Amino acid sequence: MDRTLIILKPDCIHRNLIGRIISRFEDKGLKIIGLKMMVISHDLAHEHYAVHKGKPFYDGLIRFMTSGPVVVIALEGNNAITVSRDMMGATFGFKAQPGTIRGDFGVSSSFNLIHGSDSPEAARAELERFFSPKELLEYMPAAAGWVYDYSSGKPQ
């Protein structure tokens, strides 16, 4: 099972979309193993977005991500990174397909509602950045056998 980090950004919080977006991940069958609301510090934002340092949008991105509360979510599931990113849609809402989170709720080229890890390496680093090991829970949902086929001994 893969793990990934999702951040519901300040625009998502202020637009009251938290529950609607979390429901999409739950409806898909991804398991929430960590969840918290927080305000990202400037230091944490700089660390998280270091890959973008020097780009024209960097300073605005840091201001935006530290401007209000976010919800950080650790998800687990088969191909969780790919599944989550497909669910999010194209980076800019006006380019995202209907049926995706950004396609259904966004039109901006600045505010894009949600962040998701883009690789297994990024997911590991991002999860460690936002969650302590004690905050990531291990459990088997009662419906897991109806989400995945376990007949081979591993989830399919």
CA distance linking residue 137 with residue 156, whole number of Å:
22
What percent of the chain is predicted at pLDDT more than 70?
A: 100
Q: How confident is the model at residue 109 (pLDDT cuts 50, 70, 90)?
A: confident
Tokens for 92, please give them: 């800019």
Would you state the pLDDT for residue 23?
A: 98
Question: pTM of the prediction?
Answer: 0.95
Q: What is the residue-averaged pLDDT of the chain?
A: 96
Confidence check: pLDDT of 50 > 90: yes
Q: pLDDT of 130-142, one tens digit each?
A: 999 999 999 999 9
CATH number of 2-138: 3.30.70.141
What percent of the chain is predicted at pLDDT more than 90?
A: 90
Q: pLDDT of 12-22, one tens digit each?
A: 999 999 999 99
Would you state the pLDDT for residue 150?
A: 87
What residues are annotated to the active site? 115
Show me where the domains of the chain are located: 2-138
Confidence check: pLDDT of 153 > 90: no
Confidence check: pLDDT of 154 > 90: no
What HEC string does 105-149 produce? HCCCCCCCCEEECCCHHHHHHHHHHHCCHHHCCCCCCCCHHHHCC
Q: How confident is the model at residue 63 (pLDDT cuts 50, 70, 90)?
A: very high
Q: Which of 73, 70, 69 is nearest to 28 (CA)?
A: 73
Q: How confident is the model at residue 123 (pLDDT cuts 50, 70, 90)?
A: very high
* Mean pLDDT score, 74-80: 97
Would you state the pLDDT for residue 118?
A: 96
Q: Which helix (H) or strand (E) holds 32?
A: strand 31-38
Helix (H, G, I), strand (E, B) or coil at 91: coil
* Mean pLDDT score, 44-56: 95
